[in-house]
Amino acid sequence: MRPYRSVLYIPGSKERALDKARDLAADAIIFDLEDAVAPDEKPAARALLAQVLATADYGGRARIVRINGLDTPWGADDIAAFAAIRQVEAILIPKVSRAADVQAVADRIAGVPLWAMMETALGMLNAAEIAAHPRLAGLVMGTNDLAKELGSRPRPDRLALQAGLGLCLLAARAHGRVIVDGVYNAFKDEDGLRAECEQGRDLGFDGKTLIHPAQIDIANAAFAPTEAEIDLARRQIAAFAEAQAAGQGVAVVDGRIVENLHIVTAQATLAKAQAIAALTA
């Protein structure tokens, strides 16, 4: 259970940012060759990023490269450049609208897990078939592009995006995929970021994509189990084991029934806490 609490976008064209990212507390990094890189800089950014990822040490952070789409002049070359770099743990495909978009990349690169940017209305409607693709390992919400396509207005509760968020969450959980929430644009608004992280956590996301290092600590805290949650998980597991030893199928903890399904959740909570501890050790 690798943590993906904080997933930071880093422009593939910025050597200083690439170097700084090695010491940041993000759980994962998306090295971006798409939106964060101007068209005339894309070939140079690709070459720089390939060189950096082949030699730099990013520790336990997950290393994901967002390529340009295959419908652009750069997508095929992006795939070819990173196909043989072992340090690349996943390729993130932009604007995935159907499973065929995943297959088109899968046909060009073997052995590397694929992730999908979920940022179009058609992608929301096809989320289940996209998540079911055997090469897919994760989904990333592209909430800015989705809001643009919907023509929706920004609201703190993200009302217009809830249908798409829910469809993608259902698809990810049905097929056992990682799924991370979209970015929060006002990187100096800590209270707003915290509220949106908490909303995403409560909906069921594994973490949040970020646009600035200053957002990492808030995301890490929001998507990590609290000490109270860890304590409750331990007590639930112990109480249920005691109940089973006595020939009973349920236990009671803090006045609430504890069944096997609660133990599955409790075990997942402890596993996530352990994975976070291992990553930050």
Longest dimension (CA), the chain: 70
CA distance 229 to 242: 20
Mean pLDDT on 158-166: 98
Give yes or no for a contact between 207 and 3, defined as CB atoms under 8 angstroms apart.
Answer: yes
DSSP one-letter string for 84-153: T-TT--EEEESS--SHHHHHHHHTT--SS-EEEEE-SHHHHHTHHHHHT-TTEEEEEE-HHHHHHHHTPP
Q: What is the dihedral of CA 23, 28, 29, 30, to 10 degrees?
A: 180
Q: Report the pLDDT value the prediction gives residue 29, as an integer from 0 to 100.
A: 98
pLDDT of residue 84: 84
Q: What pLDDT digit, counting tens, does each position of 37-68 carry?
A: 999 999 999 999 999 999 999 999 999 999 99
The fold adopted by the segment(s) 6-222 is: TIM Barrel (3.20.20)
Residue with tokens 């064209």: 13
Q: DSSP secondary-structure letter at 6?
A: E
Answer whether 33's CB lies under 8 Å from 68's CB: yes
Mean pLDDT of the chain: 96
How do residues 203-258 score in pLDDT, each as one tens digit? 999 999 999 999 999 999 999 999 999 999 999 999 999 999 999 999 999 999 99
3-state secondary structure of 62: strand
Return the sign of the alpha-carbon dihedral for residues 29, 219, 37, 168: positive
Q: Angle at CA 132, nearest 5°, toward 126 and 138?
A: 90
Upper half-sphere CA count for residue 9 (Cβ side, 13 Å): 26
Other C-beta atoms lying within 10 Å of the C-beta of residue 155: 10
Structure tokens at 258: 């504890």
Digit-coded pLDDT (tens) for 77-132: 999 999 888 889 999 999 999 999 999 999 999 999 999 999 999 999 999 999 99
Which band of pLDDT confidence, cut at 50, 70 and 90, is reported for residue 281? confident
pTM, entire model: 0.94
Share of the chain above pLDDT 90, in %: 96
pLDDT, average across residues 12-27 = 95
Contact criterion met (CB below 8 Å) for 107 and 79: no
pLDDT number for residue 1: 77
- Residue 267 · residue 259 · CB < 8 Å: no
Asked whether the beta carbons of 216 and 25 are under 8 A apart, the reply is yes
